[in-house]
A and B are shown apart, each in its own frame.
Chain A
Amino acid sequence: MSQIICRDLSLGYNGEAVCKNVNFEIEAGDYLCIVGENGSGKSTLMKALLGLHSPLGGEIIKGDGTSTGSIGYLPQQSELQRDFPATVGEVTLSGCIGSLGKKFFYSKADRLRAHDAMKQLGICDLADRPYSSLSGGQQQRTLLARALCATKKIILLDEPVSGLDPAATADMYETIYLLNKKSHTTVIMVTHDISASIRYANKILHMGGSPHFFRSVEEYRASSLFPAEGGEA
């Protein structure tokens, strides 16, 4: 069953298109990697999927469990956040903000959800540690835990491994892969790392060409877009 369908989507700012004719379809349990050069509109596409950015044209059709507010999101990290005074527990719990509704305070169920998310990502023992004192990989794990508090159905990750060292990168990819395989969470991930995309994803969207390339991984491998020996895009 399709979770998200994009038809002839054009995105841009102030009437000027950044990308045109984006077409793709995501089913529950898919692992989609979005690759492409800087400025090709990957982050903008993510924001459109989240309902934070209205398309210039075309349409985004959302299936069940993907309405605005019920998608887990791991944004491209900003510098401001890195020295923010907050504990891992506080950050993770803030993932429940969408389910607060008309309430003012988190319920026991919310706290339990945050605890489970931290457990799933192996950061329970960091719960009282300041976010700013963590390594890059631990910070990303925390933000992933926060995204999981929002939903387990579909998560959007914008360059989750940028700035991580190779070990932490491999670790992060493995975690996301397990999430996709074991919990059947749909994953949509922006990355520059084509070799990792082919290893883990089952679908690939290559932004920047016209038309944008959207195929399964097997077809992508055989196509001219795929660099001879994998590696960085």
Chain B
Amino acid sequence: MKLLDTLIEYFSYDFVIYAFVVGVLVSLCSALFGVVLVLKRFSFIGDGLSHVAFGAMAIAAVIGLTNNMLVVLPITVISAILLLRAGQSTRIKGDAAIAMISVGSLAVGYLLMSVFSTSANVSGDVCSTLFGSFSILTLSKTDLWVCLVMSVVVLALFVLFYNRIFSVTFDEGFSRAAGLNATVYNLLVAVVIAVIIVLAMSLVGSLLISALVIFPALSSMRVCKSFKGVVICSAIISVVCACVGIISSILLSTPVGPTVVCADIIAFGVCFVLGSIGKLSK
């Protein structure tokens, strides 16, 4: 009962409810596009971008903007487009270029933060940018609104373009032959992922975002065999894990990001076992 009382007390604060809403929305968006990312073999973009977002965050911190989004979002979106082109290029070493961009952003980001930061606790700042804030996040009302609007746009894009996204993901050649501009849809996926990563950064920190994008997709692929099933299952797993993770982090006083990711890992384990049992019983 004491736990329940603690929870009720926490949820009487606005900022806790904001964090919860943002967590659910972000995990929903990342789960849907995560499926596409994994199936298109674009996971590298998610990983590369999370490093870029850290660099961008550092720049924003150094400039001293009140609203980080203004810097972080454009930089991440542009990097997403660059990464996509690097990854598809057969001529230069695409994967090496991606590694270069990721690790470069990390180094520059940390350097900027340690040289220019006026904060007394630089390593604390760096740590929370990388792994998410230590305790429950404090989001402003503006943050909440930005996140709400972006999430709704992302969800609408996914639902409206569901059939086209499926077709391009399954077979780009066929889709192009049918008159679909696959380049535009690849671009759409890359840009949306960038937006999701920026949104998710405040929740789990930049380094852990890939987990939010990739784990639910891989988990649902263990148990579902239709595309629609995988998408729906991935969304459910991700939202449940986010809720469980956020609530556990409140009750156990653990950092939010890693707790959510741990919930995702456990879910993957469960799905792995279920999938194996399903295969054996056939």
Name the contact of A52 in the complex, choosing from B41, B176, B225 (C-beta under 8 A).
B176
Of residues 49 to 76 in A, which have CB atoms within 8 Å of B's CB atoms?
50-52, 68-69, 71, 73, 75
Check A90 against B228 for contact (C-beta < 8 Å).
yes
Of residues 146 to 178 in B, which have CB atoms within 8 Å of A's CB atoms?
160-164, 166-167, 170-171, 173-178
Contacts of B229 in A (CB 8 A): 85
Contacts of A71 in B (CB 8 A): 177
Q: Once bound together, how far apart are the Cα atoms of A130 and B225, in whole Å?
A: 6
Q: Which chain B residue lies CB-closest to A130? A: B225
Name the contact of B178 in the complex, choosing from A128, A133, A150 (C-beta under 8 A).
A150
Q: Once bound together, how far apart are the Cα atoms of A155 and B227, in whole Å?
A: 26
Q: Once bound together, how far apart are the Cα atoms of A98 and B174, in whole Å?
A: 10
Known: A52-B173, A73-B177. A94 touches B167 (CB 8 A): yes
Contacts of A147 in B (CB 8 A): 174
Check A97 against B164 for contact (C-beta < 8 Å).
yes
Interface-centre pick from B171, B178, B225, B226 (highest chain A CB count, 10 A) = B178
Known: A84-B39, A104-B161. A73 touches B173 (CB 8 A): yes
Name the contact of A68 in the complex, choosing from B173, B175, B179 (C-beta under 8 A).
B179
B204 contacts chain A at the CB level, 8 A cutoff: no
Q: Once bound together, how far apart are the Cα atoms of A97 and B169, in whole Å?
A: 13
Q: Once bound together, how far apart are the Cα atoms of A150 and B174, in whole Å?
A: 10
B71 contacts chain A at the CB level, 8 A cutoff: no
Q: Which chain B residue lies CB-closest to A52? A: B176
Name the contact of A94 in the complex, choosing from B160, B166, B177, B226 (C-beta under 8 A).
B166
Main secondary structure of the interface of B (DSSP, over half): helix
Q: Once bound together, how far apart are the Cα atoms of A128 and B226, in whole Å?
A: 8
Closest 7 CB pairs of A and B: A69-B179, A98-B178, A130-B225, A73-B177, A50-B177, A86-B227, A87-B226
Interface-centre pick from B177, B180, B221 (highest chain A CB count, 10 A) = B177
Q: Once bound together, how far apart are the Cα atoms of A90 and B174, in whole Å?
A: 14
Minimum C-beta distance from A189 to chain B (A): 15
Known: A73-B177, A85-B226, A87-B226. A104 touches B170 (CB 8 A): no
> Is the interface on chain B under 10, 10 to 19, 20 to 34, or 35 or more residues?
20 to 34
A-B residue pairs in contact (CB < 8 Å), sample of 14:
A50-B176, A73-B177, A80-B41, A86-B166, A90-B226, A94-B166, A98-B178, A98-B180, A100-B163, A104-B163, A106-B163, A132-B225, A150-B177, A150-B178
Q: Once bound together, how far apart are the Cα atoms of A90 and B178, in whole Å?
A: 16
Q: Once bound together, how far apart are the Cα atoms of A90 and B171, in whole Å?
A: 12
Q: Which chain A residue lies CB-closest to B227? A: A86
Minimum C-beta distance from A59 to chain B (A): 19
Q: Once bound together, how far apart are the Cα atoms of A91 and B224, in whole Å?
A: 16
Q: Once bound together, how far apart are the Cα atoms of A98 and B180, in whole Å?
A: 7
B230 contacts chain A at the CB level, 8 A cutoff: yes
Contacts of A183 in B (CB 8 A): none
Name the contact of B225 in the complex, choosing from A87, A97, A150 (C-beta under 8 A).
A87
Interface-centre pick from A47, A68, A75, A86 (highest chain B CB count, 10 A) = A86
Of residues 86 to 132 in A, which have CB atoms within 8 Å of B's CB atoms?
86-87, 90-91, 94-95, 97-98, 100, 104-106, 128, 130, 132
